[in-house]
Structures are given as structure tokens and as C-alpha cells.
A and B are shown apart, each in its own frame.
Chain A
Amino acid sequence: MMESYDVIVIGGGPAGLAAAVKAKELGLETLLLDENEFLGGILPQCIHPGFGIHYFKEELTGPEFAHRFIEKIKDVGVRYQTSTYVLNIENYSDLEKKIVFSSPKGIKEVWTKTVIYAAGARERHAFEIGIVGDRVAGIYTAGEAQTLMDIYGIMPGKEIVIVGSGDVGLIMARRFALEGAKVKAVIELMPYPGGLARNVMILRDFNIPLYLSHKVVEVRGRARVEKIKVVKVDENLKEIPKSEFWIDADTLLISAGLVPNVKLLQRIGVEIDPSTGGPIVNELLETTVPGIFVAGNALLINDLVDYVAEQGELAAFGAKEFIENEGIPSKRWIKLENGQNIRLLAPHYLSGERDVYVYARVSTPMENVKIVFPEIKKELRFPILRPAEMLRIRLRAEEIRRAEKKITMEAIPQ
């Protein structure tokens, strides 16, 4: 007989670890699968502090945050398997899914009632952001450089230009500078920095110039990167003629954002929200395929690991609800939609039977803003909102029930 589980968690990063611990605590037979040799996802390479302030009420580094969860996995006795790559999810019926995976022991199939998909995100590459030129050594994504430096102890370069001022790019700017490399510039397409204020501060610490409204367009070199062409862009992000200049550097670091990793899900027909890049989900993080849940950066790109862990736990709770009721019970679903100045949000369908946290990002930085949900007459005021920071707003069950069919979320001036 084939092995069977209540829940298979795909991905051993913070979302998957939190999901697996919670699922096991809720009494579900759980198996956690991860493709890396070690658990933790990208956390073991994120050696800087700033993790877990909400979840553990203290500031930890990435490896420490992972360590706490890995200890919990062992404490509650979750079965897990590393070096295991999930090849396919086969959806036979609502309560029968087959997971096909390969591991050093060969290819194996197991049955499960539910899946919590927590496979994280991938980084955008140079070609996705329109950089042309020579295909030479010395072009890395931020995460690749981070793995090299902080897991394997290898310096990827000496004179570095970083594309993108999101948190990952800024944190890598600091790592390079600390290790004695020269970070020659951070180039940001938008007119404002992409990362959290505490990370933007890094640039001042190390006197690293930040070029806002600029774009890297070309890389030149023989065997390795030698120079990098930068142009200024206007408010429509169009290149301004004759504004170009070259920077000498041996390394180009691409930190142009993350995209939820949803390939396996798309194959079984999970519907994707074009604005988050992740699946469309209900309030228990169930996708449009019954019994398939999603959490963490595979759902939407988060700014704090605490939210990722929270989503993992919610998905585990969803799996339990699903198994007990042979489906997520709800009389009706109310659609939550992004309106004016809301770039993305999740979850997308609310039942009004329980309180829900809405995760959202605004489209542009705004001061003196109101977040409004007109259909349910809810309003919140914020002195400032930035796209870099994810909003997390609690909607109470009785508030949700006030809506007929849909609720819109908008960010408007006060």
C-alpha cells in the first residue's frame, strides 16, 4: 500500500516549517518535503538581524529564526525529508492527491488529502528587466551572491553595481561593503527606494550612492563584467535620451524583485492573480483547486518573515477544516478586490464566518492616507504608506458580513 498523509507540506522555509508544526499540533499526519540539503529555505543565508520581532518578540538573524522552527519540527515530531524534489502534484479528487517526488532514494509517490504549498519565490533575472550586452561572468542575482558568501564563504566580486533598492539588494550592499568590496552604486528604476527605511539607512552607513529613476541597460566585458551602462528614466519610466553613463565594475548584482514560485500549481489548474503573481485564495489560503493551500512568498511577496510564518499556520488550520468537513464550508464567498492605489492583496474570498487578516501593498508612497472598504464602511488612517511595507489589516467577521457580494480596498488621500 502506498503511504498516505493528511497534509504534505512542500517547502521547508519559514512558511512550510510553520505550517508543518501547526498541522502536526492539530493532530494531522504530516510530511514535509524540501529540495535543499537542509531545512530553513533561504533563512540560513540571511545572516543579518531583523527576523522574528513579532513572532518571537525578539530580534533574530535568519539562521536563528530557522533554528527555532527546526527545533519545533523535531519537538513535535514532524516527519520530514530533505534533498527531495517534488516533480508533480496529481489531483484525483478533493480528498485524494498524489505527490510524486524524487530523492536520493529514487522516485516515490505518496497520497495525501491536502497539500500546503510553501515553495517560496524565485528571483527575477537580468533578461526579465531588459538588460542587454555581453554574457559574461560576474552577473548574479542577489540571492545567488548571498548563498556564495554566506553559505560557502566565496566573494563573488570586488567592484559591484546593484540593480534594485529592495531589501535584498540593500542587505547585500551592506554584506559586500562589510567584506571590503566597493559597492559603486545602487540603481533603482522607481523614484523612491524599494526597501524598508531601516535598510535604506545602510547606504548612508557605507556612503553608497543611490540612483533613483535610473536603469541599467547594458553590460560590457570580455570574460567578466567590465563596465555597466546606466540611463536616467522619466516619470513614465521611459529612458531619457543622452542621459547615459558608464560605471566600471566587475560584478552586477540583480535584485529586481521576487516572483512567487507557482509552476507546479499552474500545472494542476490553480488560478493565478496577476497582481500578486501567486494563487487566488480564500481566507484559509485554499487555492481554486480544493485541498491545495498556499502560504508565504508562494502566495504573495512578504516583507516580514513573521507574516510568512503566520500564513503557514493559517494554511495548516485550513487543512484541518478541510479534512474535517471534506471541503471548506461556506454558504457564500465575498470577493475582496483591490481598488484605487492598492497594488495587490490577499486573500481574495472571504466568508464572514471568521476574522481575517488582509495583506496588501499600496501602489506608490502616500502621505496622510485613508484605507477604505466602502461597501462595509470601514476606514483606517495612516500618516504614511509605502509599497515596500506590507499592510496587514484585520477585518472582523461581522464587518465582512455587511457586504453583499464584494468588498473593495482603496487607498485615498485623507
Chain B
Amino acid sequence: MRHRLTCIVCPLGCLIEVEVENDRVTEVIGYKCPRGRDWAINEIINPKRIVMSVVKVKNGKLPTVSVKTTKPIPKEKIPELMKVLAQIEIKAPVRVGQVILENPLDLETKIVATRDVESV
């Protein structure tokens, strides 16, 4: 199967095509540098994303706190992680960088707060 991607590593935005057969990359064309090539292969074989969301806060000046994963996680794990995040509720005050969850779903990442929430 042929995948078409616009490279986002640099502003050039090369159109890269990756051919995959039986889970193996057989051809990559269109890149202008090796960084783009590596990015495109990863993007097809093992795409990862930083995930961000908000989680509920009890007794806070705001009802939510924004959070993110400290590392990119595999794309297909995102819906599952979002479900975990939807279920938690933490107590104010919350500080930027505070760990909300250690190693959720064994993804080898942490969920950290990205803003402060004062308590009421």
C-alpha cells in the first residue's frame, strides 16, 4: 500500500510517498533529506503523538486542568488513554509539571499538568 505524507520536519514540506508491503517499507520517495525519510518511515510504521487533554479538578478556581503526556505515545493507544483521562479527578491546588498519572497503560510516559489551578 502506498501512503502519501507531507513532511513536517522542516518548512519545505516535501511530499513523501512510502510503499508498504506486509508491514515492511519497500520504497520511500520524494524526500529531500534523510531526516524527512526517517520521519516518514516512522510515521507509517510506528506513528506517535504527544497527547493533551484536560482532567477534572475538585475545589479549583477552574473546573479543569490541562495535561499532556511527557513523551509521544503510539497513535493507536490514544483513544484508550483518553478514556483513562476522562475518569480521573484531582484535587486543587495543582501545579505546572505536577505528575497526575505515572505510567498509564504501561505506555512509559507520565501525565503532567500544564497549568496551575488554585484552590477556592
Contact A47 B68 (CB under 8 A): yes
- Check: A197 CB closer than 8 A to any chain B CB: yes
- Chain A residues with CB under 8 Å of B11's CB are 197, 384, 389
B116 to chain A, nearest CB (A): 7
- Check: B53 CB closer than 8 A to any chain A CB: yes
Instruction: Choose the segment among B21-29, B59-67, B102-110 that binds chain A (4+ C-beta atoms closer than 8 Å).
Output: B59-67
Q: 1/0 per residue A157-188: CB within 8 Å of B? A: 00000000000000000000011100000000
- Check: A153 CB closer than 8 A to any chain B CB: yes
Contact B64 A151 (CB under 8 A): yes
Bound form: Cα–Cα A90–B63 in Å: 39
Bound form: Cα–Cα A70–B13 in Å: 34
Contact A63 B8 (CB under 8 A): no
- Chain B residues with CB under 8 Å of A205's CB are 47, 49, 75
Q: How many residues of B contact A (CB 8 A)?
A: 28
Interface residues of B in 39-64 (CB under 8 A from A): 47, 49-54, 56, 62-64
A42 to chain B, nearest CB (A): 13
Residue of B51, B66, B78 ringed by the most chain A CB atoms within 10 A = B66
- Check: B35 CB closer than 8 A to any chain A CB: no
- Chain B residues with CB under 8 Å of A150's CB are 54, 64, 66
Contact B8 A198 (CB under 8 A): yes
- Chain A residues with CB under 8 Å of B116's CB are 67
Given known A61-B114, A63-B115, contact A178–B82 (CB-CB < 8 A): yes
Q: How many residues of A contact B (CB 8 A)?
A: 27
Partner of B54, one of A47, A64, A197, A201: A47
Q: 1/0 per residue A228-266: CB within 8 Å of B? A: 000000000000000000000000000000000000000
Contact B12 A383 (CB under 8 A): yes
Q: 1/0 per residue B7-41: CB within 8 Å of A? A: 11001110000000000000000000000000000
Q: 1/0 per residue A352-395: CB within 8 Å of B? A: 00000000000000000000000000000001101001000000
- Check: A16 CB closer than 8 A to any chain B CB: no
Interface residues of A in 68-96 (CB under 8 A from B): none
Contact B66 A49 (CB under 8 A): no
A333 to chain B, nearest CB (A): 32
B118 to chain A, nearest CB (A): 9
Partner of B53, one of A47, A152, A201, A384: A47
- Check: A200 CB closer than 8 A to any chain B CB: yes
B101 to chain A, nearest CB (A): 16
A197 to chain B, nearest CB (A): 5
Given known A178-B82, A389-B11, contact A44–B115 (CB-CB < 8 A): yes
Contact B96 A67 (CB under 8 A): yes
B39 to chain A, nearest CB (A): 11
Bound form: Cα–Cα A49–B50 in Å: 8
- Chain B residues with CB under 8 Å of A63's CB are 66, 96, 114-115
- Chain A residues with CB under 8 Å of B75's CB are 205
Bound form: Cα–Cα A322–B38 in Å: 51
- Check: B6 CB closer than 8 A to any chain A CB: yes
B2 to chain A, nearest CB (A): 14
B interface residues, Cβ below 8 angstroms from A: 5-8, 11-13, 47, 49-54, 56, 62-64, 66, 68, 75, 78-79, 82, 96, 114-116
**CB pairs A–B below 8 angstroms (7 shown):** A47-B52, A49-B52, A63-B96, A64-B115, A150-B54, A150-B66, A178-B51
A interface residues, Cβ below 8 angstroms from B: 44, 47-49, 61, 63-64, 66-67, 149-153, 178-180, 197-198, 200-201, 204-205, 383-384, 386, 389
Other A-B pairs, 13, CB within 8 Å; known A67-B96, A152-B63, A201-B8 = A47-B53, A48-B52, A49-B50, A61-B68, A63-B96, A63-B115, A150-B64, A152-B62, A153-B56, A178-B51, A197-B8, A205-B75, A383-B12
